Amino acid sequence: MRISRLTKLSESLRASNLDALALNPSPSLTYLTSLHFHISERPVVVIFTADHAPVIILPELEMLKVTGLPYEIKAFPYPENPAEWEGVFRRAVQSLGLDGRRIGVEPRAMRLLEFRHIQAGAPEADFPDASDAVSRLRVRKDPDEIAAMRKAVKAAQSALEATIPFIKIGMTEKEIAGELVVQLLRHGSQSEMPFAPIVSGGPNSANPHASPSERRLQPGDLLVVDWGASVDGYISDLTRTFAIGEVEAEYRKIHQIVLEANAAGRAAAKPGVPCANVDKAAREVIEKAGYGQYFTHRTGHGIGMEGHEEPYMRSDNMQILEPGMAFTVEPGIYLPERGGVRIEDNVVISEKGAECLSDMERELRVVE
């Protein structure tokens, strides 16, 4: 599989008029090589070209990671002394003859630390944004990737179901989030989760990206839980909204509107249509109900090895949906200083339509 991905990368580099691609530790690097490195004070870079074996510059202590790989890779290890690192990087880059060439990078991932070491070896090189060249490889998931995401959805749903009985009036958002993390681990998530769970009650639920606080749940609150799991390097990203005891009529109303918007967005997802159609379908439901100004974000984003990747469900995105593309559908209504509702599911495009990987109850559930 990795050899196939490297072959496709070579084709993508040629099509993008790139002489090379330089990646530091990132999901893209893992996707292409199966190698796992953490960002640290010791730089790691792999340089890919269309016609040569990949070159990796890494600390000597990491050399065991590149032994026995099913593909050729040329290693340039460096010792602990930072004064010697630049020379090793220079030799590695110059071995590929990249000075004056186009070396693509991912701006969201490449740090200045690694970039300067690469640039020292190719001071006349151009460093264009190669995000599209890499995204074209990752955006269509294969059956193994989809299977991993399906497992991640199952782990996440099971974890929240196990958490719900613990939720009581008077608990803090942090306490609920802590219990949810424990349950995610118990139900199969890797310890490196896609993101810290969002648990927001009452007025905090009107903030789409709130962080769990010491606020205690009160009767009449809406409670938004946005959470996910990681399995085999792939993630899930879900949201459900709960009522803490009896809630006011408008809260029930906006939950029903968001529920219908979620269904409309999922129904609009199919191969051959632009991403914009998914956003427009969900947004139209909320706007017709008179709450358009309170839906303040896009309808969804791609998922896979990262929590946010292509494709993006925005009203201006005319990218065509293709089989294998996976993304969220997560409309919401947020009433400032009062409360909010979001319902989020994970969808993957199939040959004939779309499969919703998540099936946890979407109706407004009461906990107290």
Residues 189 and 270 in one domain: yes
Using one digit for the tens of pLDDT, what is the confidence trace for 176-208?
999 999 999 999 999 999 999 999 999 999 999
Final residue of a structural domain among 138, 166, 194: 138
User: Which of 138, 163, 193 is the last residue in one of the domains?
Assistant: 138
What confidence category does residue 125 fall into, taking pLDDT thresholds of 50, 70 and 90?
A: very high
Residues 202 and 222 in one domain: yes
Same domain for 159 and 134?
no
pLDDT digits (tens, 9 = 90+) for 75-100: 999 999 999 999 999 999 999 999 99
Retrieve residue 254's tokens. Answer: 């906006």
The CATH number of the domain holding residue 323 is 3.90.230.10
d(CA 352, CA 261): 22
3-class secondary-structure state, position 251? helix
Q: Are residues 103 and 181 in the same domain?
A: no
Q: Are residues 111 and 197 in the same domain?
A: no
Residues 107 and 128 in one domain: yes
Q: How many residues does the chain have?
A: 368
CA neighbours within 13 Å on the CB side: how many for 258? Answer: 31
Residue pointed to by tokens 């099509």? 15
Domains held by the chain: number: 2
pLDDT band at residue 1 under the 50/70/90 scheme: low
CATH number at residue 74: 3.40.350.10
What is the model's pLDDT at position 191? 96
Res 2 pLDDT > 90: no
Predicted pLDDT of residue 124? 97
Same domain membership, residue 151 and residue 82: no
* pLDDT of res. 3: 85
Whether residue 178 sits in one domain with residue 42: no
pLDDT mean over 232-260: 98
- What would the mean pLDDT of 129-137 be, rounded to a whole number? 95
Share of the chain above pLDDT 70, in %: 100
101-119: buried (b, 16+ CB within 10 Å) or exposed (e) per residue?
bbbbbbeebbeeebbebbb
CB 180 within 8 A of CB 155: no
Q: What is the mean pLDDT of residues 227-247?
A: 98
Q: Could you give the CA distance from residue 203 to residue 246 in angstroms, rounded to a whole number?
A: 16
Q: Are residues 182 and 247 in the same domain?
A: yes
pLDDT digits (tens, 9 = 90+) for 5-16: 999 999 999 999
Same domain, 52 and 103: yes
- Note whether 208 and 356 are same-domain residues: yes
The rounded radius of gyration (Å) of the Cα atoms in the chain is 23
Which residue range forms the structural domain that includes residue 291? 143-367
* Domain end residue (candidates: 111, 138, 165): 138
Q: Is the pLDDT confidence value at 214 over 80?
A: yes
Assess whether 66 and 191 both reside in one domain.
Answer: no
